Amino acid sequence: MIIKLLEPLRVPKDMIEELAQPIKDMGHEFVYYEEKTTDTNELIKRSEDADIVMIANNPYPAEVIEASENLKFINIAFTGVDHVNAEAANKKDIKIANAAGYSNQSVPELAIGLTLDVYRGISSGNTEVRSKDFSGQFQGREIKGKTVGIVGTGQLGTRTAELFKAFGANLIGYNRSENEEAKALGMTYHDLETVMSESDIISVHLPLTEDTRGIISKEMLSKMKESAIIINTARGPVIDSDALADALNADEISGAGLDVFDMEPPIPADYPLLAAKNTILTPHVGFLTDESMVLRAEIVFENTLAYLKGKPQNLVN
Protein backbone atom coordinates (compact mmCIF):
# COMPACT_ATOMS: atom_id res chain seq x y z
CA MET A 1 0.00 0.00 0.00
CA ILE A 2 0.94 3.64 -0.41
CA ILE A 3 0.70 5.66 2.80
CA LYS A 4 1.00 9.44 2.61
CA LEU A 5 1.39 11.92 5.45
CA LEU A 6 0.01 15.04 3.80
CA GLU A 7 1.22 17.65 6.29
CA PRO A 8 3.78 18.02 9.11
CA LEU A 9 2.89 16.90 12.63
CA ARG A 10 4.99 19.44 14.58
CA VAL A 11 7.57 16.86 15.62
CA PRO A 12 11.13 16.46 14.33
CA LYS A 13 11.57 14.79 10.95
CA ASP A 14 13.75 12.08 12.46
CA MET A 15 10.83 11.09 14.71
CA ILE A 16 8.57 10.79 11.66
CA GLU A 17 11.17 8.60 9.97
CA GLU A 18 11.49 6.43 13.07
CA LEU A 19 7.72 6.00 13.39
CA ALA A 20 7.41 5.25 9.66
CA GLN A 21 10.08 2.55 9.65
CA PRO A 22 7.75 -0.30 10.73
CA ILE A 23 5.46 0.63 7.81
CA LYS A 24 8.39 0.35 5.40
CA ASP A 25 9.52 -2.87 7.04
CA MET A 26 6.13 -4.37 6.16
CA GLY A 27 6.84 -3.58 2.51
CA HIS A 28 4.63 -0.51 2.17
CA GLU A 29 5.57 2.85 0.64
CA PHE A 30 5.58 5.92 2.87
CA VAL A 31 5.51 9.49 1.53
CA TYR A 32 5.90 12.55 3.77
CA TYR A 33 5.06 16.16 2.84
CA GLU A 34 6.87 18.68 5.03
CA GLU A 35 4.68 21.70 4.21
CA LYS A 36 0.97 21.92 4.92
CA THR A 37 -1.54 23.02 2.30
CA THR A 38 -5.22 23.89 2.28
CA ASP A 39 -5.42 24.11 -1.51
CA THR A 40 -7.89 21.55 -2.81
CA ASN A 41 -6.02 20.89 -6.05
CA GLU A 42 -2.77 20.35 -4.18
CA LEU A 43 -4.49 17.98 -1.76
CA ILE A 44 -5.88 16.01 -4.72
CA LYS A 45 -2.38 15.81 -6.16
CA ARG A 46 -0.86 14.70 -2.87
CA SER A 47 -3.58 12.10 -2.29
CA GLU A 48 -3.22 10.58 -5.75
CA ASP A 49 -2.59 6.80 -5.62
CA ALA A 50 -2.68 6.78 -1.81
CA ASP A 51 -4.37 3.89 -0.04
CA ILE A 52 -4.01 5.66 3.30
CA VAL A 53 -3.70 9.38 3.99
CA MET A 54 -2.65 10.85 7.30
CA ILE A 55 -3.72 14.45 7.97
CA ALA A 56 -3.94 16.82 10.93
CA ASN A 57 -6.52 19.58 11.43
CA ASN A 58 -6.64 21.16 7.98
CA PRO A 59 -9.79 20.63 5.88
CA TYR A 60 -10.03 17.50 3.74
CA PRO A 61 -13.01 18.23 1.48
CA ALA A 62 -15.30 16.00 -0.54
CA GLU A 63 -13.59 16.91 -3.83
CA VAL A 64 -10.35 15.36 -2.62
CA ILE A 65 -12.02 12.19 -1.36
CA GLU A 66 -13.99 11.77 -4.56
CA ALA A 67 -10.86 12.18 -6.69
CA SER A 68 -8.81 9.67 -4.67
CA GLU A 69 -9.63 6.39 -6.37
CA ASN A 70 -7.48 4.13 -4.20
CA LEU A 71 -8.23 5.73 -0.85
CA LYS A 72 -9.34 3.29 1.85
CA PHE A 73 -8.43 4.95 5.15
CA ILE A 74 -8.28 8.59 6.36
CA ASN A 75 -6.15 8.75 9.49
CA ILE A 76 -6.65 12.06 11.34
CA ALA A 77 -4.00 13.31 13.74
CA PHE A 78 -6.59 15.24 15.70
CA THR A 79 -9.47 14.58 18.09
CA GLY A 80 -12.20 16.41 16.17
CA VAL A 81 -13.08 15.06 12.73
CA ASP A 82 -15.55 17.68 11.50
CA HIS A 83 -12.96 19.07 9.04
CA VAL A 84 -13.16 15.85 6.99
CA ASN A 85 -16.18 15.27 4.74
CA ALA A 86 -17.49 12.10 6.35
CA GLU A 87 -20.42 11.81 3.96
CA ALA A 88 -18.12 11.56 0.95
CA ALA A 89 -15.95 9.02 2.79
CA ASN A 90 -18.91 6.90 3.81
CA LYS A 91 -20.19 6.77 0.23
CA LYS A 92 -16.90 5.15 -0.79
CA ASP A 93 -16.68 2.97 2.35
CA ILE A 94 -13.52 4.79 3.40
CA LYS A 95 -12.72 4.33 7.07
CA ILE A 96 -11.88 7.33 9.26
CA ALA A 97 -9.89 7.24 12.51
CA ASN A 98 -8.80 9.95 14.92
CA ALA A 99 -6.00 10.38 17.45
CA ALA A 100 -8.25 10.11 20.48
CA GLY A 101 -6.49 10.79 23.75
CA TYR A 102 -3.45 12.76 22.65
CA SER A 103 -4.69 16.05 24.14
CA ASN A 104 -6.24 14.64 27.29
CA GLN A 105 -3.85 16.70 29.40
CA SER A 106 -3.14 19.73 27.23
CA VAL A 107 -6.75 20.78 26.64
CA PRO A 108 -7.89 20.44 30.28
CA GLU A 109 -4.83 22.40 31.43
CA LEU A 110 -5.75 25.25 29.09
CA ALA A 111 -9.36 25.17 30.36
CA ILE A 112 -7.99 25.69 33.86
CA GLY A 113 -5.62 28.40 32.59
CA LEU A 114 -8.43 30.30 30.89
CA THR A 115 -10.52 30.07 34.05
CA LEU A 116 -7.67 31.43 36.15
CA ASP A 117 -7.11 34.25 33.68
CA VAL A 118 -10.77 35.26 33.69
CA TYR A 119 -10.96 34.97 37.48
CA ARG A 120 -7.65 36.63 38.33
CA GLY A 121 -7.07 38.98 35.39
CA ILE A 122 -3.64 37.57 34.57
CA SER A 123 -3.53 38.90 31.01
CA SER A 124 -4.90 42.33 31.88
CA GLY A 125 -2.68 42.49 34.97
CA ASN A 126 0.38 41.86 32.83
CA THR A 127 -0.63 44.78 30.63
CA GLU A 128 -1.53 47.06 33.53
CA VAL A 129 1.67 46.57 35.51
CA ARG A 130 3.69 47.57 32.43
CA SER A 131 1.59 50.67 31.82
CA LYS A 132 2.66 54.20 32.74
CA ASP A 133 -0.98 54.79 33.68
CA PHE A 134 -1.14 51.90 36.15
CA SER A 135 -4.67 51.85 37.53
CA GLY A 136 -3.90 49.88 40.68
CA GLN A 137 -4.50 46.40 42.01
CA PHE A 138 -7.71 44.55 41.29
CA GLN A 139 -9.57 41.86 43.17
CA GLY A 140 -10.18 38.41 41.73
CA ARG A 141 -12.00 35.21 42.61
CA GLU A 142 -11.04 31.66 43.61
CA ILE A 143 -12.11 28.35 42.08
CA LYS A 144 -12.39 26.62 45.46
CA GLY A 145 -16.00 26.14 46.49
CA LYS A 146 -17.41 27.09 43.09
CA THR A 147 -19.78 24.82 41.17
CA VAL A 148 -18.24 23.79 37.87
CA GLY A 149 -20.54 22.50 35.15
CA ILE A 150 -18.84 20.18 32.67
CA VAL A 151 -20.79 20.14 29.39
CA GLY A 152 -19.60 16.97 27.68
CA THR A 153 -18.05 14.38 29.99
CA GLY A 154 -15.94 12.31 27.65
CA GLN A 155 -12.23 11.89 28.26
CA LEU A 156 -11.44 15.60 27.97
CA GLY A 157 -14.36 16.75 30.06
CA THR A 158 -13.70 14.19 32.77
CA ARG A 159 -10.00 15.07 32.98
CA THR A 160 -10.95 18.75 33.21
CA ALA A 161 -13.35 17.89 36.02
CA GLU A 162 -10.54 16.08 37.81
CA LEU A 163 -8.34 19.18 37.65
CA PHE A 164 -11.14 21.44 38.86
CA LYS A 165 -11.76 19.07 41.75
CA ALA A 166 -8.10 19.44 42.75
CA PHE A 167 -8.83 23.16 43.20
CA GLY A 168 -11.74 22.32 45.52
CA ALA A 169 -14.63 22.84 43.11
CA ASN A 170 -17.98 21.07 43.21
CA LEU A 171 -18.84 19.16 40.02
CA ILE A 172 -22.02 18.84 38.00
CA GLY A 173 -22.28 17.64 34.43
CA TYR A 174 -24.32 17.22 31.28
CA ASN A 175 -23.85 14.45 28.74
CA ARG A 176 -26.01 12.09 26.69
CA SER A 177 -24.73 9.21 28.83
CA GLU A 178 -23.26 9.23 32.31
CA ASN A 179 -19.53 8.58 32.76
CA GLU A 180 -18.76 6.35 35.74
CA GLU A 181 -15.27 7.84 36.07
CA ALA A 182 -16.78 11.33 36.32
CA LYS A 183 -19.32 10.14 38.86
CA ALA A 184 -16.49 8.64 40.93
CA LEU A 185 -15.05 12.17 41.15
CA GLY A 186 -18.29 13.30 42.78
CA MET A 187 -19.99 14.68 39.66
CA THR A 188 -23.77 14.65 39.60
CA TYR A 189 -25.60 14.67 36.27
CA HIS A 190 -28.41 17.03 35.29
CA ASP A 191 -30.14 18.31 32.19
CA LEU A 192 -28.40 21.11 30.32
CA GLU A 193 -30.74 23.79 31.63
CA THR A 194 -29.88 22.90 35.22
CA VAL A 195 -26.14 22.82 34.56
CA MET A 196 -26.31 26.22 32.89
CA SER A 197 -28.32 27.77 35.71
CA GLU A 198 -26.49 26.29 38.71
CA SER A 199 -22.85 26.59 37.58
CA ASP A 200 -20.41 29.30 38.55
CA ILE A 201 -18.02 28.06 35.87
CA ILE A 202 -19.12 26.21 32.72
CA SER A 203 -16.49 24.30 30.77
CA VAL A 204 -17.53 23.02 27.33
CA HIS A 205 -16.14 19.75 25.95
CA LEU A 206 -18.65 18.64 23.32
CA PRO A 207 -17.72 17.43 19.84
CA LEU A 208 -19.23 19.36 16.95
CA THR A 209 -22.12 17.43 15.41
CA GLU A 210 -25.47 18.39 13.95
CA ASP A 211 -26.96 17.78 17.39
CA THR A 212 -24.45 19.94 19.27
CA ARG A 213 -24.14 22.85 16.82
CA GLY A 214 -25.52 25.88 18.64
CA ILE A 215 -26.61 23.79 21.62
CA ILE A 216 -25.47 26.59 23.94
CA SER A 217 -27.99 28.99 22.49
CA LYS A 218 -29.20 32.42 23.49
CA GLU A 219 -31.82 30.71 25.62
CA MET A 220 -29.24 28.55 27.40
CA LEU A 221 -26.93 31.51 27.99
CA SER A 222 -29.84 33.43 29.51
CA LYS A 223 -30.08 30.79 32.24
CA MET A 224 -26.56 31.52 33.52
CA LYS A 225 -25.91 33.48 36.69
CA GLU A 226 -24.67 37.04 36.21
CA SER A 227 -21.54 36.02 38.15
CA ALA A 228 -20.91 32.92 36.03
CA ILE A 229 -18.24 32.45 33.37
CA ILE A 230 -18.02 30.09 30.40
CA ILE A 231 -14.92 28.36 29.04
CA ASN A 232 -14.83 26.75 25.59
CA THR A 233 -11.89 24.59 24.49
CA ALA A 234 -14.04 22.28 22.34
CA ARG A 235 -15.51 23.67 19.12
CA GLY A 236 -16.61 27.24 18.50
CA PRO A 237 -19.97 26.55 16.82
CA VAL A 238 -21.39 24.67 19.80
CA ILE A 239 -22.00 28.15 21.27
CA ASP A 240 -24.04 30.88 19.58
CA SER A 241 -21.20 33.41 19.34
CA ASP A 242 -23.46 36.42 18.67
CA ALA A 243 -25.59 35.59 21.70
CA LEU A 244 -22.49 35.07 23.84
CA ALA A 245 -21.05 38.44 22.83
CA ASP A 246 -24.38 40.12 23.59
CA ALA A 247 -24.56 38.45 27.02
CA LEU A 248 -21.02 39.53 27.87
CA ASN A 249 -21.51 43.11 26.72
CA ALA A 250 -24.78 43.41 28.62
CA ASP A 251 -23.14 42.09 31.81
CA GLU A 252 -25.61 39.21 31.83
CA ILE A 253 -22.68 36.88 32.52
CA SER A 254 -19.33 37.68 34.10
CA GLY A 255 -16.76 36.51 31.55
CA ALA A 256 -15.57 33.99 29.00
CA GLY A 257 -12.39 32.16 28.07
CA LEU A 258 -12.36 30.90 24.49
CA ASP A 259 -9.83 28.88 22.54
CA VAL A 260 -12.18 28.09 19.63
CA PHE A 261 -14.37 30.13 17.33
CA ASP A 262 -16.70 29.77 14.34
CA MET A 263 -13.61 29.73 12.14
CA GLU A 264 -9.91 29.07 12.54
CA PRO A 265 -7.71 32.10 13.24
CA PRO A 266 -7.06 34.64 11.83
CA ILE A 267 -10.43 35.96 12.98
CA PRO A 268 -12.27 38.63 10.94
CA ALA A 269 -12.10 42.07 12.54
CA ASP A 270 -15.90 42.29 12.82
CA TYR A 271 -16.26 38.99 14.69
CA PRO A 272 -18.36 39.97 17.74
CA LEU A 273 -16.36 38.11 20.37
CA LEU A 274 -13.20 40.09 19.56
CA ALA A 275 -14.76 43.16 21.17
CA ALA A 276 -16.78 41.40 23.88
CA LYS A 277 -16.24 42.49 27.48
CA ASN A 278 -14.33 40.37 30.00
CA THR A 279 -13.21 37.84 27.40
CA ILE A 280 -9.89 36.00 27.14
CA LEU A 281 -9.08 34.59 23.70
CA THR A 282 -6.40 32.11 22.65
CA PRO A 283 -5.77 31.03 19.03
CA HIS A 284 -6.95 27.39 19.16
CA VAL A 285 -3.90 26.05 20.98
CA GLY A 286 -5.52 23.80 23.57
CA PHE A 287 -4.18 20.72 21.82
CA LEU A 288 -0.78 22.22 21.08
CA THR A 289 2.01 21.35 23.52
CA ASP A 290 5.39 19.73 23.00
CA GLU A 291 4.21 16.65 24.85
CA SER A 292 0.87 16.30 23.08
CA MET A 293 2.45 16.57 19.64
CA VAL A 294 4.75 13.65 20.38
CA LEU A 295 1.84 11.58 21.69
CA ARG A 296 -0.29 12.54 18.69
CA ALA A 297 2.34 11.37 16.23
CA GLU A 298 2.71 8.09 18.07
CA ILE A 299 -1.05 7.48 18.08
CA VAL A 300 -1.59 8.30 14.42
CA PHE A 301 1.20 5.96 13.31
CA GLU A 302 -0.18 3.27 15.62
CA ASN A 303 -3.54 3.75 13.86
CA THR A 304 -1.88 3.20 10.49
CA LEU A 305 -0.06 0.08 11.63
CA ALA A 306 -3.22 -1.33 13.19
CA TYR A 307 -5.10 -0.82 9.93
CA LEU A 308 -2.32 -2.45 7.91
CA LYS A 309 -2.48 -5.44 10.26
CA GLY A 310 -6.23 -5.76 9.73
CA LYS A 311 -7.14 -4.53 13.21
CA PRO A 312 -8.22 -0.89 12.75
CA GLN A 313 -8.54 1.22 15.89
CA ASN A 314 -9.95 4.61 16.88
CA LEU A 315 -12.51 4.43 14.06
CA VAL A 316 -15.13 7.17 14.07
CA ASN A 317 -17.34 5.98 11.19
Rounded Cα distance between 164 and 170, Å, is 8
User: Is there a catalytic annotation at residue 83?
Assistant: no
| Secondary-structure percent of the chain, ordered helix, strand, coil, rounded to 5 | 40, 15, 45
- Choosing from 48, 128, 162, 264, which is the catalytic residue? 264
Count of CB atoms within 10 A of residue 215's CB?
Answer: 19
User: Is there a catalytic annotation at residue 296?
Assistant: no
**With the C-alpha atoms ordered 265, 271, 274, 277, is the resulting torsion angle positive or negative?**
negative
- Choosing from 46, 141, 284, 296, which is the catalytic residue? 284
Closest CA to 287 of 81, 11, 103: 103
- Choosing from 235, 252, 291, 296, which is the catalytic residue? 235
DSSP-assigned letter for residue 273: G
User: Is there a catalytic annotation at residue 284?
Assistant: yes
- 101 sits in the region (left: phi over 0; alpha: psi -120 to 50; else beta) called left
| CB proximity list for 301: less than 8 A, separation 6 or greater | 19, 20, 22, 23
**What amino acid positions are annotated as catalytic residues?**
235, 264, 284
